[in-house]
Structure 1
Amino acid sequence: MMLLHGKTMLVTGGSTGIGRAAAIEAARQGADVGINYVGDDAAADAVVAEIQAAGRKGFAFKADVADRASAPAFVARGVAELGKVDIFVSNAGICPFHAFLDMPAETFERTMDVNLHGAFYMVQAAANQMVAQGGGGAIVAVSSISALVGGEFQTHYTPTKAGVHSLMQSAAIALGRHGIRCNSVLPGTILTEINRDDLADADKRRRMEARIPLGRLGQPEDLAGPIVFLASDLARYVTGAALLVDGGAFVNLQ
């Protein structure tokens, strides 16, 4: 049984990493999928090709989520291409690692604009469409283990991920009366473009792997199943929740 049969999904930051994995798995589970992206056109086209290879409709919409006008535009494109919006995955994010004391204002503001403000406006636009349609819906935001712990070179990043987690909790209350469920996933260290340079240090990577009870860093595909679950009717009574997907890193204090 395909968990998302007959559903439609929109995903921000869908051309690489966690967004890409979620989009492709959703298509395999029966959903038509639209992705938003801001980078490489070829990468976005490749994701759409995989969605279509799974027998589903797919499209790519290029826009920077930091531009608030991109939110209603992406949702409108989703309705035009797919007919409706049942599931929305807010995934787009950046983390330009930097020390705290000399953090450039531009780096801080850009991280806030993409990770938190972008998530707010995208989720708001999707929620308005779901309310207008009737019938409820599911919103999943990609937060981070960084919503719960600190990072020396992430003082600009961790507040945004805590904000995304909090956004889902409050949106769950605001949208519950409309049958719209709002949840977040909190990835641990996942091998994506966002931390490729940081994990190029082999010694640091080995130290991080040693702290994880499952013995490895995560892959983007490790998030696809949890996101699909939260988007599906299997999670029909789950809202305002946060699902850690970190290989056990958070609970390992030894």
Structure 2
Amino acid sequence: MLLQGQRILITGGSRGIGRGAAIECAKHGADIAINASAPSDSVDSLVKEIETLGRKAVVSIGDVADPDSATAFIEAAVKGLGGVDHMVANAGICPFHSFLDMPVEVVKRTVDVNLMGTYYMCQAAANQMVRQGTGGSLIAISSISALVGGEMQSHYTPTKAGQHSLMQSVAIALGKYGIRANSILPGTIATDINKEDLADPAKREYMEGRIPLGRLGKPEDIGKVVVFLASDLAGYMTGAHVLVDGGAFVHLQ
């Protein structure tokens, strides 16, 4: 198993990409700590699934936009798992809205969750890794939207570009501690964020038609790349961004 005995923290872990990453990492031997914004049946079922795979599961409830939640998450992981080896900053929101009448509150909340939440969580995890003295890695779940615009995403795309840029700077800052920092840029993944569009056959066909591999991504597609980046197979990768989009970006060029 690629991640045997590793302790992996995942924000926004109860659904979508976060859930897919948690399950894939557990399959490869990792114990998992999940941050979720609120208790839910989805959180409970994920804990059971991880435990069925023979791994430990810890849950911390809190808003990633609150720096105190990052401290609480690390404390819960240390108490429940014994330490922190990897942080996957996955929590994110994308409330689609037109640019000209975008409410300030929507912009601020999107930045606070997507960018600042990543900052707080990675900073807290990195400090714990430095205290442990055993290295580790930080993985930000950015988006193909870090590289391309979106008419209804003027508030969202800058946060995704910011995550990618943040990992580059953090890679420089933390390399001397043996801590790697990378970002994953998913394409269109079937999750709650886009479920309404995907329910429309015409929109789904349009999305799939722009992807050379001819299908939408699944959360486990991203989870497998998380496993790779957390494992020793990626031991010489830091400051990198990895497109996982079925070829969508090259098709858009």
Q: Give the TM-score normalised by structure 1.
A: 0.98
What one-letter code is carried by the residue in structure 2 that aligns with 1:34?
A
What one-letter code is carried by the residue in structure 1 that aligns with 2:20?
A
Superposed displacement of residue 39, structure 1: 4.0
Match of 2:248 in 1: 249
Q: Hey, what's the Cα distance between the residues in 1 that align with 2:72 and 2:58?
A: 14
Superposed displacement of residue 40, structure 1: 5.0
Q: Does 1:104 align with 2:91?
A: no
1:46-61 map, 5 Å? 46-61=45-60
1:45-84 map, 5 Å? 45-84=44-83
Q: Give the TM-score normalised by structure 2.
A: 0.98
What one-letter code is carried by the residue in structure 2 that aligns with 1:246?
D
Q: Hey, what's the Cα distance between the residues in 1 that align with 2:148 and 2:154?
A: 11
Q: Hey, what's the Cα distance between the residues in 2 that align with 1:34 and 1:106?
A: 30
Match of 2:138 in 1: 139
Q: Hey, what's the Cα distance between the residues in 2 that align with 1:58 and 1:199?
A: 31
Q: Hey, what's the Cα distance between the residues in 2 that align with 1:246 and 1:217?
A: 8
The answer to whether the 8 A contact 2:10-2:90 is kept is: yes
Match of 1:10 in 2: 9
User: Over residues 91-119 of structure 1, what are the superposed CA-to-partner deviations in whole Å (9 max), with x where a residue is unaligned?
Assistant: 00000000000001111111001000111
The answer to whether the 8 A contact 2:39-2:61 is kept is: no
Tell me how large the CA RMSD over aligned residues is: 1.0
Superposed displacement of residue 253, structure 1: 3.6
SS in 2 for 1:252: helix
Q: Hey, what's the Cα distance between the residues in 2 that align with 1:210 and 1:114?
A: 31
SS in 2 for 1:93: coil
SS in 2 for 1:204: helix
Give the length in aligned residue pairs. 253
Match of 2:93 in 1: 94
SS in 1 for 2:64: coil
Residue identity (%): 65
Match of 2:201 in 1: 202
Q: Hey, what's the Cα distance between the residues in 1 that align with 2:83 and 2:9?
A: 10
What one-letter code is carried by the residue in structure 1 that aligns with 2:204?
R
Superposed displacement of residue 200, structure 1: 2.8
The answer to whether the 8 A contact 2:60-2:72 is kept is: no
Q: Hey, what's the Cα distance between the residues in 1 that align with 2:74 and 2:188?
A: 30
Q: Which runs of 4+ in 1 moved over 4 A?
A: none
SS in 1 for 2:249: coil
Q: Hey, what's the Cα distance between the residues in 2 that align with 1:190 and 1:39?
A: 23
Match of 2:215 in 1: 216
Q: Does 1:186 align with 2:185?
A: yes
Q: Does 1:174 align with 2:156?
A: no
- Of 129-138 and 197-206, more deviation after overlay is shown by 197-206
What one-letter code is carried by the residue in structure 2 that aligns with 1:138?
S
The answer to whether the 8 A contact 1:7-1:86 is kept is: yes
SS in 2 for 1:196: helix
Unaligned runs of 5+ in 2: none
Q: Hey, what's the Cα distance between the residues in 2 that align with 1:74 and 1:39?
A: 13
Unaligned runs of 5+ in 1: none
1:21-60 map, 5 Å? 21-60=20-59
The answer to whether the 8 A contact 1:145-1:187 is kept is: yes
The answer to whether the 8 A contact 1:218-1:246 is kept is: yes
Superposed displacement of residue 199, structure 1: 2.7
Superposed displacement of residue 57, structure 1: 0.6
